[in-house]
Structure 1
Amino acid sequence: MESRESEIQRDKEAAARLTSAMLHKHYDENDVDAVTASFADPFSWVGAGEEEYCTGLENVLNVFRQFAGKVPKCNLTDEHYDVIEVANGIYVCSGRLWVTTDPSTNIYLRVHQRITTVFRKIDGELKCNHLHLSNPYVEMVPGDVGFPTAMAKHSYDYLQECLKEKQREIDSQSMVLNSIYDTVPCSIIRYARKHDGAYELLFSNRGTADLMGISVDDVQHIDWSAGYCPFMVEADAKRLADLMEGLRVPGDQASAVCQVRRQGGDSIYVNSVNTFISSDERGDIIQKIVFDITERIMVEKSLARMSYEDGLTHLYNRTKFSQELDDESYADVEQLGIAYFDINGLKAMNDQKGHAAGDDLICRTARHISEAFSGSTFRIGGDEFVVIDSESDEDEFRSQVEQSLELMHDDDIEIAVGCSWRSKPCSILEQFDEADRLMYRDKSAFYSSKLHDRRRRQ
């Protein structure tokens, strides 16, 4: 017969699971029926919104039915629940978690949600009689139903308006710059395009010489007959020449971002705006305004990298990993190795020594994995890492796995790993699933061994 202590512990675990399940059904799936399945009379509810308060089972159910289709898809992380028995068969579960809108919703919000539930055991089954959701600060406004959508949408609209305003400013500046010549720090050039297609330089400002890193006199001795700077990277030069060939009538305009290798050896990025001005006895008059946009390109590249980079470990993140899983080109590679790592004991580390210690453990693990492997390394979860390697043969790949395990063992890091390696035909999805299964088998064996050791010591 089950002891009273065991029964209480089992009920506590069930209360925590039910609380988590309700949250996932609400935020992940917006499944109202699943959320309310365990509600029982009497029932009271306090929501995260200022006006969200209701008692009586039927009244609460009517409120929750209004949530259907109103809650954007969210991702839940860092869930933590504690359950106490306040009376015989009555359990109070308190918890907190991060709720983050999924990027696919175009709503950008992250809140630290708190929840309290009360369960009563009826005929051997736990039923929920109370639910209280709250946030550390007020985020919902009247009109929001089940989620602070208005605030998030306003934030998104404001972001878009700022971007549009910035674009309007840039367009306005471009119009002004088109009428300014030698007094601006950009390159302004005018050509006459002859009937045979060759270009004759008519005018260039000081900014043209500065852009190329040469003297003003040297500008006049350059061969401009192709219509572009000879210091331009070949592929960009050909593309720009084709665009300029498409300028056929006054008002036509074409622009391109190109790379220029300055005479001093350094490279810059420029935006070349080319406009058909008019035609006269000299030929077609083409004006070129060239801006140095190196800083902007570097920022864009940095932002692009950041969108695929895990902020803590600087490995690739899950977004980049998901793109790799969708990359059909892996079906054509000659060989493919996938290693799936999962840290053992991260939660215990966070609980015992704090999240700073947990973050340090994650970073050390990431460093050892990236040091050992020549393939791409991804952090796909809190304590989960994946390596994708299409270059190494099987011996090299498995040697890298062993090297990473040795590095982590020497650093007192416990980790579970699962590996999949194939030669052609390869399947990144199938191999990831295989590595996932093997990793969890390894993790299960680790914790089974620890449980066995603990029981033996007892």
Structure 2
Amino acid sequence: MNSKEQICYKVEALARKILTSYFCDSDVECLINTLAPDVLWLGGGKNMRARGREAVAAAFRNAGEMIAYDLTEEHYDTMDMGGGIYLCQGIGWITSKPGQQMYVRYHQRCTFIFRETSHGLETTYVHNSMSMREDFGEGDLFPIQEARDGYERLKDILSERERQIELMLSQLPGGMLTCQADDDFTIEWVSDGLCDLLDYSDTNELYRASGGTVRGFVVPEDYDAMLVQTKAAMQRKDTYSTEYRVRKKDGGMLWVADFGKRVVSDQGTALIYCFISDISEKKAREQQIMESNQEVAQQAHFLTQLYNTVPCGILQFEPESPYA
């Protein structure tokens, strides 16, 4: 690396340090410590400008509440202006960190002019801007109110989606559950619809009766075959479908169809999301068809045996002349 590349690397490292300290650590002093006595600052708003170290430092220190961001997709470009002056521009996405009562995601742009001194690089010019709404407050250094408004909008959207999901679940002819991918299918969450299907008043009653597992409400004679079929299907792909019998609260039985998908949670745990639907009527019709087919087969077998064993012939003719 030649001397020019070295100084450009040093300039970009300082720009990255300033931006990371400010956005990620909510630390304004890192920037302020680099300000030259004659520094100029220009922000994104109409009145966002200041001249001189004290005025610029005051603008940043008095900006009010700060947001903690994640800074991603950064890119820096540096130009040697000659005479120990370097222009460095940096871009990147800033996204408010989780856990705050606000949400922001903007494309941030910052330009610095650094001057080389005997004590190192000092900042002589700062310009920061970001894509934002036209009604962004003139006195705000960064969009705090917009962040709160964005957070509230997200809450409203999520609430509406939750209401839609609850409505959809209430209309489905069955219920849903989330369980672990173990041999008992330990239940993590169960919908009210599944409780209704099995005649339990709520999830707590179902948990107590089943021991908190799918094994606890599946008819024992069906469980092992269901387990083998489900695990074999998920070895080929992450989805499965199967049919088995379950016991209701009163001891009665239902035939159900189970459609599921295996996912991996943020914690790295394998979970199964599934939908369970009552197919008892379908199974009853299938049984009737099977019994009817058996009866027809038995009748056919009887007639065949009859034809083969009766010691005479069977003749069919017309009762009118010529008696053909």
Q: Output the TM-score relative to the length of structure 1.
A: 0.38
In 2 relative to 1, CA 173–120 (structure 1 residues): closer, same or farther, beyond 3 Å? closer
Secondary structure at 2:36 match in 1: strand
Deviations 1:284-330 (A, max 9, x none): xx9xxxxx9x89x86xx76xx4x63xxxxxxxxxxx48x9xxxxxxx
Report the TM-score, using the length of structure 2 for normalisation: 0.52
Q: Residue type matched to 1:102 in 2?
A: K
Residue 39 of structure 1 and its aligned partner are, at CA, apart by 0.4
- Higher relative CO (Cα under 8 Å, sequence separation at least 6) belongs to 2
Q: Give the secondary-structure state (helix, strand or coil) at the position aligned to 1:27.
A: helix
Give the corresponding residue for 1:155.
Answer: 150
Q: Structure 1 residues 139 and 133 mapped into 2: Cα distance closer, same or farther (>3 Å)?
A: farther
Percent of aligned pairs with the same residue? 25
* Counterpart pick for 1:17 among 6, 13, 20: 13
- 1:142 corresponds in structure 2 to 137
Aligned position for 1:94: 89
Q: 1:132 aligns with which of 127, 133, 145?
A: 127
> Following TM superposition, by how much is the alpha carbon of 1:98 offset from its aligned partner in structure 2, in angstroms?
2.5
Which residues of 2 match residues 22-33 of structure 1 at below 5 A?
Answer: 22-33=18-29
User: 5+ residue gaps in structure 2?
Assistant: 175-192, 227-240, 244-248, 251-255, 270-324
Q: Distance in 2 between matches of 1:237 and 1:77?
A: 42
Equivalent residues in 2 for 1:279-428, closer than 5 Å: 305=264, 308=266, 320=267
Query: Partner letter of residue 91 of structure 2?
Result: R
8 Å CA contact 1:49, 1:139 repeated in 2:
no
Aligned AA (2:62): Q
- RMSD over aligned Cα, in angstroms? 4.9
Q: CA deviation at 1:164?
A: 3.4
Q: In structure 2, do the counterparts of structure 1 residues 169 and 77 end up closer, same or farther at CA, with 3 Å as the change threshold?
A: closer
Per-residue deviation, 1:86: 1.3
Give the Cα separation in 2 of the matches to 1:237 and 1:125.
66
Question: How many positions carry a matched residue from both structures?
Answer: 222
Residues 37-186 of structure 1: pairs in structure 2 closer than 5 A: 37-49=33-45, 51-67=47-63, 70-136=65-131, 138=133, 141-142=136-137, 145-166=140-161, 186=173
Aligned residues of 1:51 and 1:142 also touching (Cα < 8 A): no
Deviations 1:96-126 (A, max 9, x none): 2232222232533333322210112233522
Distance 1:55 1:102 in 2: 32
Q: Which residue of 2 aligns with 1:35?
A: 31
Partner of 2:279: none
Q: Any idea what SS the aligned residue of 1:240 has?
A: helix
Unmatched tracts of structure 1, length 5 or more: 178-183, 188-206, 213-223, 229-235, 245-255, 269-273, 275-285, 287-291, 309-319, 324-458
**Which amino acid is 2:124 matched to?**
N
Change (3 A) 1:105 1:173: closer
Q: Which has the larger radius of gyration?
A: 2
The answer to whether the 8 Å contact 1:26/1:71 transfers is no
Matched-pair contact (CA < 8 Å) for 1:45–1:60: yes
Query: Partner amino acid for 1:100?
Result: T
> CA shift at 1:143, angstroms?
6.4
Q: How far 1:29 moved relative to its partner? A: 1.5
Q: What pairs up with 1:172-211 in 2 under 5 angstroms?
A: 186=173
Name the amino acid aligned to 1:142.
G
Which whole-Å CA distance do the structure 2 matches of 1:163 and 1:97 have between them? 27
SS at structure 2 position matched to 1:20? helix
1:41–1:138 CA distance, 2 compared to 1 (3 A): farther
